[in-house]
Structure 1
Amino acid sequence: MPNWAYIVLLVLAIYILLSLLLYILQDYFLFKPEKLPKEFQFYYENQETEEYNIETRDGAVINGLRFKAQNPKGVVFYLKGNSKSIKGWGKFAVDFTRHGYDVIMVDYRGFGKSTGRRTQKAIKRDMQVVYNKIKEKVPERYIILYGRSLGSGFAAKLASMNNPRMLILDAPYYSLSKVAKKFIPFMPLSLLIKFPMPTYKWLKYVNCPIHIIHGTDDRLIPYKTSVKLSKIKPRQTTLHTVIGGGHKDLNTFESYHKMLGEIITSHPKKVDLKGSSIDVGTSSKQMDVKA
């Protein structure tokens, strides 16, 4: 066998090995869970919480918290990112309870006190079970879905299958396959990735108002991703820009809190376009004006 053939076979073998490793180990790269013992007690200063557990049909347990507001106007179902547990993410609940909204947060399978084998299908099913539990006590017109980073995909999927008051996406991705391709463009990700999370596909079926919040300096998921997502359902989507915001620090910007407060405390109003310039065409030709 000629030398070039050995080289080709070696490269092919290495490529196949890398593909297998990516398929097997991707869960460890994508998820950074924090495990909590069953006896762990959640505590947040100036926040009233209630812990609960939901058992799924396959025997897994989904652990979550309800952050209580005084005389709640509704509920925010907050779907968190890919790291830690609700032990740390719970500090963000105050951004909603201070506006009079209860907040529901849960840990995905393998995070915190939650158990069960983690797959995209299983997590989507789990989130629908939690949403159904919320619906039993709160009409959907009072439910806000908020998805942060990884959670933005699951929130978009939930919104596409239900009728919440609104969907808020914080630093969302077009799809996780697209994010992964940015770092490993030479791998056949369409065949290997277990969590493709095609947010762009699910947004097509969302009928409620959509609000997208993104920082211009996000180096993990570029701002242009949200610009692209906002064009999927442009008539019902509003893009909110945090100038200078990164991927993990939007809560440190005053502008973020201002826009978030305006989003969740206001109701969409129909704009009267009669008499506006919406139907006025543009022309590159200059009209002659005689003195």
Structure 2
Amino acid sequence: MQRLRRLLMAFVLITGMLYLALCAVLFAAQRSLIYPAPQTEPSKLRDQPGFGVVPLATGLNVDRFYLPAPPGAPTVVHFHGNGEQLLWQQGLGQALGDAGLGFLAVEYPGYGASPGSPSEAGLYASAEAALQFLREQGVKPEDVVLSGRSLGTGVAVEMARRGYGARMVLVSPYTSMVAMGQRTVPFLPATLLMRDRYLSLDKARDIPIPVLIIHGEQDEVVPVDMGRTLGQRFPQARVVTVPGAGHNDVLERDGQQEFARLATFALDGT
């Protein structure tokens, strides 16, 4: 009996140590998992029309892509997903330009050709610097439409919480990064381990602007129920779920019907 007790205690101790080691590994590696940060050569951006940089308070510059709006038209300020980069936003910007809108996208630190390391605070700093740049171009606050996709929805929500934007579009949004962590590794204490939290659900009730949420019903990354839950929390939100659409094709399905919905909402809020 004494030997069995010692073996049991050793098993519990080893299991506990392995569990703590796993928690430590996740804590250390989480940003590399949240931010895969695709890279590109600076030369691919620097000489192209619309590309430039915006300065951060840290002294670094991040890249931006800007297409001015026609007179009197809104400008969509877009924050991309975690597996994307600024260079890949050209097509979206040009399509919105064809719809009569302006477009501004900003790179995240450590992504594309921009220096630095990505973090929640770093993404917010880039976003706010981009909005300051837009103000310097003479764009009125009432002509700014915030837009986010996947990871970028958390950035858009924070900018709305800070008072930016006349309305907001969220494509495939999550309720928080903590909730995503709990879903991905339910056997670990994500609430304690997550450094970058993006608490969109907690912020939503205090954001009064109109919100359009577009979410694929077959989203394999961010469950559609997260989009529905967020829609219930915003004071003014419309949730559109797209049958058959996953995480990465929700705007591209059915002849880009949902892209057209996004553009119409950005133009006049309908």
* Global fold match (TM > 0.5): yes
Which stretches in structure 1 are left out of the alignment for 5+ residues?
A: 269-291
1:40 aligns with 2:44: yes
Query: How many equivalent pairs are there?
Result: 263
1:131, 1:39 → 2: CA distance?
Answer: 25
- The code of the aligned residue for 1:57 comes to A
- The code of the aligned residue for 2:30 comes to Q
Which stretches in structure 2 are left out of the alignment for 5+ residues?
A: none
Contact 1:216 1:241 (C-alpha < 8 Å) held by counterparts: yes
Matches within 5 A, 1:87-98: 87-98=87-98
| 1:22 corresponding residue in structure 2 | 26
Q: 1:264 aligns with which of 248, 266, 269?
A: 266
Secondary structure of 1:33's counterpart equals coil
Contact 1:72 1:100 (C-alpha < 8 Å) held by counterparts: no
- The code of the aligned residue for 1:5 comes to M
Secondary structure of 1:156's counterpart equals helix
The one of the two structures with greater contact order (alpha-carbon pairs below 8 A, sep at least 6) is 2
Larger mean CA deviation between 124-133 and 103-112 belongs to 124-133
| 1:222 corresponding residue in structure 2 | 223
1:180, 1:43 → 2: CA distance?
Answer: 39
2:17, 2:33 → 1: CA distance?
Answer: 23
Matches within 5 A, 1:158-173: 158-173=159-174
Contact 2:35 2:83 (C-alpha < 8 Å) held by counterparts: yes
Secondary structure of 1:218's counterpart equals coil
- The code of the aligned residue for 1:16 comes to L
The alpha carbon displacement at 1:163 in A equals: 3.9
Contact 2:82 2:151 (C-alpha < 8 Å) held by counterparts: yes
Larger mean CA deviation between 216-225 and 50-59 belongs to 50-59
2:130, 2:39 → 1: CA distance?
Answer: 20
- The code of the aligned residue for 1:237 comes to A
| 1:208 corresponding residue in structure 2 | 209
Higher CA-based Rg: 1
Distance change >3 Å, CA 261–CA 128, structure 1 → 2:
closer
Secondary structure of 1:240's counterpart equals strand
Report the TM-score, using the length of structure 2 for normalisation.
0.91
1:169, 1:142 → 2: CA distance?
Answer: 17
Between structures 1 and 2, the one with greater helix share: 2
Contact 1:71 1:100 (C-alpha < 8 Å) held by counterparts: no
Contact 1:171 1:247 (C-alpha < 8 Å) held by counterparts: yes
- The code of the aligned residue for 2:50 comes to E
Contact 2:210 2:269 (C-alpha < 8 Å) held by counterparts: no
The alpha carbon displacement at 1:248 in A equals: 0.1
- The code of the aligned residue for 1:115 comes to P
The alpha carbon displacement at 1:192 in A equals: 1.1
The alpha carbon displacement at 1:16 in A equals: 0.9
The alpha carbon displacement at 1:208 in A equals: 1.0
1:261, 1:37 → 2: CA distance?
Answer: 31
Alignment RMSD: 1.9
1:56 aligns with 2:84: no
Report the TM-score, using the length of structure 1 for normalisation.
0.84
- The code of the aligned residue for 1:19 comes to C
- The code of the aligned residue for 1:261 comes to A
The alpha carbon displacement at 1:94 in A equals: 2.7
**Identical aligned pairs, as a percentage?**
21
Contact 1:140 1:164 (C-alpha < 8 Å) held by counterparts: yes
Contact 1:217 1:223 (C-alpha < 8 Å) held by counterparts: yes
